[in-house]
Structure 1
Amino acid sequence: MLLSLKDDQKQHLSVLISQPTNVLQDFCKLALDFLLKGPAPKLYQTAAQKLSVQPEIIRNAVEGLVNLIVESCRHQLSDLDFRDSVLTLGFTEEHQEILEVFYKEKKQEIHDALSRLTLDLPHYYDLEWRFEVQLASRALQHQVTPLITMNLTLETKTALASGSTSRKNVILQTDPTNLVHIAQVLEEALRDSRSQHSRQIQRSFK
């Protein structure tokens, strides 16, 4: 099968078609860096100066190249289908050879990442909690020990029937200080998930 890309994605890749092979190799390195670390504006600025174009064009080309590789992995294109898809986009045979090497090197890694994204992992369903305070004990008559007990309900889709779910209750107990720390870590993770890099990666895997 031939890979079908959107018009804007083809437009982003078109800047690479007229470039020499050594420039395309540099873009493959930028695409790999994008997959591993996210966008690199400084590198895009440097590349833009060398090619006398706007940095946005470089960024779009890198994202287009990442999308080409990810979509090829998603559809599990054979080497022959990938070759034909690249040639159909207007790349030369010399370009195709470079892109095919890049595809072969990253294919398994990206495929594994896509497989992990399709797992039906447990997710939040409900939470019940209560606040407890131990005012004193025989050993420590003036100690106050606050605790929060939580009943967390997780829901998981089962593989036995479409739409069927199973639920599991997890009992957790912690003190207020540790609970505040957990909340801060989760809020930081939530902010990271909304970052530009995370959104770009999520769009690449959709």
Structure 2
Amino acid sequence: MLLVLSDEHKEHLGFLPKVDPAVVGEFGRIAVEFLKKGSNPKIYEGAARKLNVPSETVQHGVEGLMYLLTESSKLMISEIDFQDSVLVLGFSEELNKLLLQLYLENRKEVRQILSELAPSLPHYRNLEWRFDVQLGSRALRQHVKPAICLKLHLESGGTQTARVLQTDPATLLHLIQELECALAEVKSNHCRRILRNIK
């Protein structure tokens, strides 16, 4: 799978051939460090003074490199696909090898950082339900609406929570139909192709 870079990212990475390969290696280290701890404008300013360029240029170069490393690591693209993806940028053979080396050395660490940054969403554990109907009332002489009470048990990071929901049968039927449509859509050929490419 090839990595598709936008024109903006190509422009940001276009700064890399203008500097020494050792500087590109340092930019790669800074990019991985920024993924761990966040951005630090002082580092951009210091590097910009040494290279005699505006700090925005250095920032865009590092961010472009950071994007290249994160997207490549996220998709776990092979060495050949990475080289083909970078070939579009028109860099020298030496710079392409340096970028490949940066990718291969840092992809496990970048994947680990990305997995830690991913939000921990609660997932389903159990569901309890109750059907409530008021059988008679002097105040309500006409229509009695039944209600369905749901207690949804969720687990997130080892902690368990419960959410109580209440709905009427018509809304619940509509929700069931929508979920069945979504499940049917996942089985379609189009979704299967997308899921194959994601894995």
Please state which band the TM-score falls in when normalised by the shorter chain.
0.5 to 0.7
Q: Secondary structure at the match of 1:169?
A: strand
Matched, 1:169 2:150: no
- Which residue pairs with 1:104 in the alignment? 104
Structure 1 position 82, deviation (Å): 0.7
Q: Distance in 1 between matches of 2:107 and 2:23?
A: 22
* Contact 2:83–2:100, Cα closer than 8 Å, also in 1: yes
* Contact 2:82–2:100, Cα closer than 8 Å, also in 1: yes
What stretches of structure 2 of length at least 5 have no aligned partner? Answer: 124-151, 164-199
* Contact 1:10–1:89, Cα closer than 8 Å, also in 2: yes
Number of equivalences: 133
CA 1:154 to 1:113, structure 2 compared with 1: closer, same or farther past 3 Å? farther
Provide TM-score, normalisation by structure 2: 0.58
* Contact 2:13–2:61, Cα closer than 8 Å, also in 1: yes
Structure 1 position 20, deviation (Å): 2.2
Q: Which has the larger radius of gyration?
A: 2
Q: Distance in 2 between matches of 1:53 and 1:118?
A: 35
Structure 1 position 83, deviation (Å): 1.4
**One-letter amino acid matched to 1:28:** G
- Which residue pairs with 1:6 in the alignment? 6
Structure 1 position 116, deviation (Å): 5.4
Deviation digits for residues 173-195 of structure 1 (CA, Å, limit 9, x no counterpart): xxxxxxxxxxxxxxxxxxxxxxx
Matched, 1:50 2:43: no
What stretches of structure 1 of length at least 5 have no aligned partner? Answer: 124-152, 158-166, 171-206
**One-letter amino acid matched to 1:54:** P
Structure 1 position 15, deviation (Å): 0.6
Structure 1 position 87, deviation (Å): 2.1
Provide TM-score, normalisation by structure 1: 0.56
Q: Which moved more, 1:110-119 or 1:96-105?
A: 110-119
**One-letter amino acid matched to 1:12:** H
- Which residue pairs with 1:64 in the alignment? 64
Structure 1 position 11, deviation (Å): 0.9
CA 1:61 to 1:154, structure 2 compared with 1: closer, same or farther past 3 Å? farther
* Contact 1:120–1:156, Cα closer than 8 Å, also in 2: no
* Contact 1:17–1:90, Cα closer than 8 Å, also in 2: no
Residue identity over aligned pairs, in percent, reads 41
Structure 1 position 69, deviation (Å): 0.6
Structure 1 position 156, deviation (Å): 6.1
* Contact 1:122–1:154, Cα closer than 8 Å, also in 2: no
Q: CA RMSD in A?
A: 2.8
- Which residue pairs with 2:81 in the alignment? 81
- Which residue pairs with 1:31 in the alignment? 31
CA 1:61 to 1:122, structure 2 compared with 1: closer, same or farther past 3 Å? same
CA 1:156 to 1:10, structure 2 compared with 1: closer, same or farther past 3 Å? farther
**One-letter amino acid matched to 1:83:** Q
Structure 1 position 111, deviation (Å): 2.3
Deviation digits for residues 99-132 of structure 1 (CA, Å, limit 9, x no counterpart): 1121112212222344456676318xxxxxxxxx
Matched, 1:19 2:19: yes
Matched, 1:93 2:112: no
